[in-house]
Structures are given as structure tokens and as C-alpha cells.
Amino acid sequence: MNLKVNDVVFGYSSVTILDKITLELGCSEVLGIVGPNGAGKSTLIRCINKILKPQKGAVTLDGRNINDMSRMDISKRLGYVPQSASNTFPATVFDTILMGRRPHCGWRSSHDDIKKALEILKLVGIETLAMRDFNELSGGQQQKVILARALAQEADVLLLDEPTSNLDVRQQLETMEIVRDMVAEKGISAIMAIHDLNLAARYADRIIMLKNGKIYDVGEPFSVFTRENIRDVYGVEADVKDDDGKPYLLLKKPIKNMD
């Protein structure tokens, strides 16, 4: 599966949020999108998923513009995990996860669909929540259910918008391990917008760093996570260490008088 973002521009009124963003997702790749608040991370994810429509440029799947694809067709190819469950689900956890099978089975779930949902429940470690009402769960529990629903889609690409935002430290690592394992075992790819630079450095194969809606730098974690880049993009002094072949950032202090 080939996913490309070609010169995408998006904004509101006179404010440009994304300015000529171009990227290509590799096969079995985890692509991390980082940058300060307002850099355009979530907006880029939503443009890729056709939630937002770019003013210029295009997003293509295997050469096909997503604007020419139905929502159901997109759901078969792209699994989306938003920052939080903004819409409530008057359903059990199991039924919420089973919704992820809808692009494949419509409204009638087969034995295989139910089996897949049960497998995902166990994979994500929430089988004890199966019959709980989704709306009664904590924010962190809901986040894991939404991840499970996206995994149940068996899409070619996972789009993760701050997938660890509501999770404690252990759950953050568990979630990222699940994503990393799914990419390796199923041959899928993932794009994740993420605030935590050390999680991005540890789990992403490649990093796109945004600043003011533009790509500031792109490459492997060690080439992007430098003291100079952290200073210029985040306005923070940092040391970068080698942690078993992965960069580890020690954030020290904000730089004064810097926008």
C-alpha cells in the first residue's frame, strides 16, 4: 500500500495551519509526527483521513485521491485513533470494538468478526472490560478501546493522533509496544502524531518535525532529535543521549525571550 501526501495546504480563513506538506509512508514503517502545539500535527492526521479537506494538494492511496473514495473504502484502508472519544458510544466495550469490523461486514457480524474482536480484546489487555458500558470507562480505558476498534478494522495504515495522551506511563509503553508489534507482524504501517519526544524516538522508524505548519526536518530519530532542532523548534535546551541505539532527550530548561 502506497500513501502519499503531496503539497498539502490547509488553513482557516487567513490562518495557514499546514503549508505545502509532502511525505510518503514506507511499507511496515512507523512514522512519528512531532512539533509544538499548533504546529499542525493533528490537522495533518485529519487531512490524511479525509476528516478535513485540504485547500491545495492531495492525499493519495495507491495513486487514488482520497477525495474520490467513499468513507467505507477509506475505513478499509485507514484505521483512525483520535486523541479522545469525543462522541459517546451507547454500547458495551465489545460492541464498540466490533464496530471496527463494519467496513468488512456491514451491520451483520459473522462468527469470524466476533472471533477477531475477541482476539483484539485480549491483545490490548481489556478483556475484563468487555461487557462494561463504554461511557462508564475512564479516559485511559476509553483510549485503549478506541485503539482496539481501529485494530479490528485490519486496515493497511493506522493513523494515531496522540494515542498515549490519556494513559499512565505503563499503559503508554504497552500501547506503543502493541502498535510496534502489529506493524512488524502484520506488515501494516502507522503514522502517529505524538507529544512525547522520547516515545517517538523509541518507537518511530522515521520522524517528521513540524514548525509553524511546515516540515522543519525529516529523517531517522538520531538525525532529527538534535540539540539544535529542539532549541529552534521547541525553544528548550536539551541533551541527547544514546539509549541502546535510540536517542533519549534530557529536557533541561526553556530558552528565555524566544517565540
> Going residue by residue through the chain (259 aa), what tens digit of pLDDT does each one get?
899 999 999 999 889 999 999 999 999 999 999 999 999 999 999 999 999 999 999 999 999 999 999 998 999 899 999 987 665 668 999 999 998 888 777 667 788 989 999 999 999 999 999 999 999 998 889 989 999 999 999 999 999 999 998 899 999 999 999 999 999 999 999 999 999 999 999 999 999 999 999 999 999 999 999 999 999 999 999 999 999 999 999 999 999 876 5
Set of cell numbers at residue 79: 484505521
Judged on CB neighbours under 10 Å (0-12, 13-18, 19+), 149 is: buried
- Per the document, the length of the chain is 259
97 inside domain: no
Q: Phi and psi of 33, rounded to 5°?
A: -110, 120
207 inside domain: yes
Q: Give the domain CATH number at 241.
A: 3.40.50.300
98 inside domain: no
Q: Assign residue 106 a region: left if phi > 0, alpha if psi is -120 to 50, beta otherwise? A: left
141 inside domain: no
Q: Do the strands 56-61 and 64-65 form a parallel or antiparallel pair, or are they unpaired?
A: antiparallel
> Total domain count for the chain?
1
Beta bridge partners of 157: 78, 189
134 inside domain: no
Q: The domain containing residue 229 runs over which residues?
A: 3-87+155-254
162 inside domain: yes
pTM for the predicted model, two decimal places: 0.93
Angstrom distance (rounded) from CA 248 to CA 241 = 5
